[in-house]
Structures are given as structure tokens and as C-alpha cells.
Chain A
Amino acid sequence: MRVTVKLFATFRDGRFKVEEKNLSEDSQVLDVLQLLNILPEEVAICLVNGRDVKEQHVLNDGDTIALFPPVGGG
């Protein structure tokens, strides 16, 4: 299946802003993190199609994953 991965803030350093990834069926967010060499504890906000999820969340074809380190403001 294909998913879109969007990275933000320091996660972009040495990686990318947005890329499509091919994953095997039943992949979890955790698999994406491993692929990108990001530790789960580095992730503050993980959105799949705008919804907050945990790293065990199982992905579906066409999902958009957005990953943020701890950031905020206002």
C-alpha cells in the first residue's frame, strides 16, 4: 500500500518534507518511524488523516501521516 508521510520541524533535518512510501499490508505507524530512523519517544504529535494516533495504529492504503517533534506556540 502507499501512504503519504509528512515531516515537520526538526524531523525534516536530513530527511524530507513530504514523500510517498510503499509499505506492506498491516504496517503500523511504528514501521514508518523505523524506516525513518525516528524513535517513538521523539514524536510528540502523530496524526493519521488529521486524527491523533499511537504508534501501534495500523495504516491503510492512501493514509496521510504527519509527524511532529515537541513544538507549539500560539
Chain B
Amino acid sequence: MGGYTGKILRINLAEGKTSTEPLNMELAKKYLGGRGLAGKMFADEVASDVDALSPGNKLFIAAGVLTGTNAPTPSRYMVVTKSPLNGVIASSNSGGYWGAELKFAGYDMLVLEGKSDHPVYISIKDGEVEIKDAGKVWGKDVYETTDALKQEFGDDKAKVLAIGPAGENLSLMAAIVNDLYRAAGRTGVGAVMGSKNLKGIVVRGTGKVENANPDQMKEVVANSLRKIRENGVTGQGLPTYGSAVLVNIINETGVYPVNNFQGSYDPEADLISGETLTEKYLLKKHPCYRCPIACGRYSKWDGKEGAGPEYETAWVFGSDCGIHDFDAIHEANDLCNKLGLDTISVGGTIAAGMELVQRGYIKPEELDGTTLEFGNAKGMVEWVRKIAYVEGLGAKMAMGSYNLAESYGAPELSMSVKKQELPAYDPRGIQGQALSYATSNRGGCHVRGYMISPEILGLPEKLDRNSLEGKATWTKIFQDLTAVIDAVGLCLFSSFALGLTDYTALVNAVTGFNYTDEELLACGERIWNVERLHNLKVGYSAVDDTLPKRLLNDPISSGPSKGQMHNLPELLVQYYAERGWDKAGVPTPERLNMLGI
């Protein structure tokens, strides 16, 4: 058997015990790994009514079956737990080097249970696992912690994953950051780690991941690499400009949110675009493990160096806050990495805060002298810091934009779905993306079914973004395929160039299994339904498959897409039917039976 190490490491932090158990191969065949297998185990092991920040919640950190192999983009790992932000099944994904290293150390997955009575970190050196005191690094930022833990470990090749002050302070937007600049950012997973008094995990592995069919793998990998190289997006666009190249595309299309989604076009967006980043800030590319795309950026700004912002980050600290100061955006991005915060949710919450000030809900005396207004870059950066350290109004903001806006009696000013902040696309001018946002199993999110790809970028084929035709079907397929990609441990960006057939070939070559395309995609559908069932159990229903009031009721007010509006009600009817769910959005017994759930 290849791909899997066949071992799960279970750590009970309350008892200080570690144990190894064999991977359940029957489950692995149905749920693959990563988001899929961890999600299924989470649903089986954790009661749906558990408080997300209580010791009863568990943290699953899982690599995929292709993580650490020589498949293209094999860097990803997934964090699965109950989200403290919104109670849904959280699954937050990260690249870098940590996930592959976990496989090299001999584990497919870590399961972290209970709560330590003092701050600890976990040290993994191949089969040697220790729970160690983290008193010296508790309170330190991610960069300091990474350095300190590596030093104590005594091997510069060790990989570190850690939380920053935001996770320790239980901010519901706290991220888990690995390899300094890569984050499992969304759904507040950093707070769950903080609630367990777990500061970090250092891992060093000297093993390798086996391929069941090395010759077949060589051919399949060569074929996939050729497709990635020859594809304009993965071969040229992303490597040259990074993901922020989207700023101008989305803006010129007129679906680029401005000032907390009050506008949809920014005449000055080019100041914070991928083109400008490349021209004025880029020092070098900063790729993840064995990535042929290398979209990651390493920048210089204002006398400093560090990770350059992704598209969502450039947008959220930029146009969504009315800001065009790229130095400030770099600074806010760096602070999020350093203090352990999710850029999309933090920026979205600051933007919501700015609108709450604009409309008189937040009073000047609540601001402790720090400006919170659209266009004020200095204030924006300071609010990022205040959120991480839960200072003053920052403590309220650390609970996310929905809780913040609701506390002022104006929840409609939170641009979120299921309490999680929306990313950088105005769904009113993109029918499929509207449906994808509304039905995302982790709340407001673009990477649970990236309909921007066909509707705006024209990949794998161009769809009319304003038409409803075929959108429910496309959205379902994209959601299921994304679940497969997340479960096998590859980067979603590979899918600009690769299709289902390529993923099937890679999985089969590595594992020696014989999935058909349909069977592999069914794994994705199974994952999607398991997540849906969990969310229904915690109390979500069809009424939550929606969008914030502004995006639900008012057409786009200005810019190239002025007057456009989605037809979410009709799309949802089609989508539930497509999924084999009843009219209330509940999976039918027939469909669950068909999927073997």
C-alpha cells in the first residue's frame, strides 16, 4: 500500500498520554484522508452539542493520501474540529512544509483530545513523541515561537506549527500558522488549539511516503506537471504575479467589494494589485513543498521583509477597508501571520467595524483614540493588533464581525454567511458563486466550490456569470471535487490545470487502488454530506443557506455590474434537488444509502 503511512497518533492532553493506532482502511477508502477522513472521524467521535472551546472538542490535524508524495502540489494538511466561530464542522487547510513532514515522521493524522492544565507543545521526531512544557513560549508570537521551538528541538530541518497570542486569547478568528507564513486560517481553529493550552507542534521525519506503483506514478506525475506548466494560470499567471493578480480581474468585472461591500468597483484597485506587488514589492517567490506553481510571495515593505499578501488579503485590508496603502496591507498581513489571525475574517471584521462607526453604532469614546474609519490605514493596522491582544473594542472584534455587529443591534452589517466573513467576490453578479457561498459547509468561503473559475476565469470552460443555467450542477460538482482535492492533500490551485481524471490517476498510482472517476467523485459527495449532516445536527437548516441582507435584497449599486442580482431562491431549489436533498435541505435516506453513509 502506498500514500498512507497507516498510522494515527492520538494524544490526550489532559492525561499527557500518547498512543498510536492503525488507520481504518475501510474508512480511508471511503473518505480518502485530510478533510474527508478527519471529518468522518470527527463526526463519529465528537458529540454535536459539545462546546467548541471545551476539553470535549477534539482537534484533528490530517494530511492527505498524496501529501508528501511526488504528485504536484502535495503540501496540504487539514485541521478539522468544531468551529468556535459558528459551531459548524471546521476544516481549515494549509500548505507549506509541515504537512509533508508529518507524513515523513510516519503519521497520516494527529488527534488531539482534552485540555492540558498548563501550556505545552508537542515534539515529534519520527516515532518519538513528547509533550513538553511551553511556559517559555506562551505569550510569544508565531515567529518567536517557531524559532524557539526549533532551537529547543535542535534540528533546523524541523517544521513548526503554532498559535500566536490570538489563539491563546481565544479569538474566534485565530489561525494555526505553520512554517511562519502558511495558515490554517479560517473558522477559528487557532482558538481551539489555544483552549487546549497547546502552543505548537514540532515535527521532524526522516521517512518517506511510498508509491504503490512507482512506474505508473512517474508517468502520471509527468503528465500532470506538463498540464500545470502549459496552463496559462498555473504556468504563468500565478507564478509571475501571485494570487493578487485577481484584484484587477475581479474589479474590472465589477464584482469587487469595496468598503464592507457597500460598493463593487474600486477605481484605484490597481494600486494594490498583483501587478503592483510584482513591480514594487516582490523579492522572490515563496513556494510550498514541491510546488510547480509557486504562487507564494516574499516581499519587502517599509524596511521589512516577509510573506506578501494573497488576493483575499490584499483586498480585505485594502479596498474592503477603503485603503490603497500597500505598505499598510503588507503590515496587516504580517501581523496576522505573526499574531496568528485569519486575514479574511479580521479584515472583514475591521471593515464591518468601520461601517458601524460610519453609521453611528460604535461611538467615538469606544475607540480609545484609535481611528476606525474607511481609508485610515494606520488605524486599520492597529486594530489588527488590538484584536489579537483583545484590547478595548478589539476584544469585541475578536469574536468576529457577526457577533460584533449583533452586539450593536445591526447584524446585517456583518458581511458573513453562517457568521463567517465573506471573501473578495460580490455574489450578486456571479450566480454560481452566490449559491456556493450560501451552501458552504463552513460558512462564508470561496474555496468550498470556487465558481469564480468557470464564471469569471473561464476554467475549465466559460460560463455566463449572470445565467442560472447549469449552475446548481456545476456548483455541486465543484464542491464535491474540491472535497476530493482537500481530502487527498493537494492544493486547490492545481485544479486550474488538472481535472477529475488526473486526480483519479494520481490517487490510483500512489495507493494501488482502482477508483473510477465516478467513485472518486462520490468520495467528495460523501464528505460533503457528512459535513452537512453535522451542521444540521448543531441546528443549522435551509434558512441559513443564505447571504447577508445587503447582498440578498439590493442589486449592485454602481460600477460595471450595476443593477445585477443573483437569484438565490431559485438556485437553492435546483441545488437541493441536484444533491438529492429534500426541500428543507436535508439529505434523503435514499441518497445517504446510495453514498454508503
Contacts and interface: CB of A to CB of B under 8 A. Distances in A.
Nearest to B252: A66
B270 interface: yes
A52 B233 CA distance: 18
B242 interface: yes
A70 interface: yes
Contacts of A35: none
A50 B493 contact: no
Contacts of B270: 17
A70 B233 CA distance: 5
Given A73-B311, A74-B312, A44 B240 contact: no
Contacts of B249: 8, 45, 68, 71-72
Interface residues of A, number: 22
A49 B560 contact: yes
Interface string A53-69: 00000000000101011
A68 B233 CA distance: 11
* Most chain B beta carbons < 10 A, residue from A12, A45, A70: A70
* Most chain B beta carbons < 10 A, residue from A45, A49, A70, A73: A73
Interface string B241-254: 11111101100111
Interface string B271-291: 000110000000000000000
Interface residues of B, number: 43
A32 interface: no
A8 B237 contact: no
Contact of B252 (A50, A69, A73): A50
Given A9-B237, A44-B458, A72 B253 contact: no
Given A12-B275, A50-B559, A70 B243 contact: no
Contacts of A69: 232, 236-237
A74 B452 contact: yes
Contacts of A50: 252-254, 559-561
Nearest to B311: A73
B459 interface: yes
A73 to B, nearest CB: 3
A24 interface: no
Contacts of A10: 236, 240
Interface in B385-443: none
B242 A73 contact: yes
A45 B251 CA distance: 13
Contacts of A52: 462, 464-465
B253 A73 contact: no
A3 interface: no
Contact of B248 (A8, A49, A74): A8
Contacts of B457: 44-45, 71-72
B258 to A, nearest CB: 14
A54 B315 CA distance: 28
A73 B232 contact: no
Interface string A27-46: 00000000000000000110
Contact of B237 (A6, A47, A72): A72
B515 interface: no
B361 interface: no
A64 B243 CA distance: 24
A51 B237 CA distance: 21
B237 A70 contact: yes
Contact of B458 (A8, A12, A45, A73): A45
A72 B275 contact: no
B496 interface: yes
A69 B275 CA distance: 13
A70 B231 contact: yes
B184 interface: no
Given A6-B252, A8-B275, A9-B237, A72 B242 contact: no
Contacts of B253: 47, 50
Given A8-B275, A50-B560, A74-B453, 4 more contacts: A71-B233, A73-B233, A73-B244, A74-B452
Closest 4 CB pairs of A and B: A70-B232, A50-B560, A73-B243, A71-B237
22 contacts: A9-B237, A9-B240, A9-B248, A9-B274, A17-B270, A44-B458, A45-B456, A45-B458, A49-B560, A50-B253, A50-B254, A50-B560, A52-B462, A64-B560, A69-B236, A70-B236, A71-B245, A72-B238, A72-B245, A73-B243, A74-B246, A74-B493
Interface of B: 231-233, 236-238, 240-246, 248-249, 252-254, 270, 274-275, 295, 310-312, 446-447, 450, 452-453, 456-459, 462, 464-465, 492-493, 496, 559-561
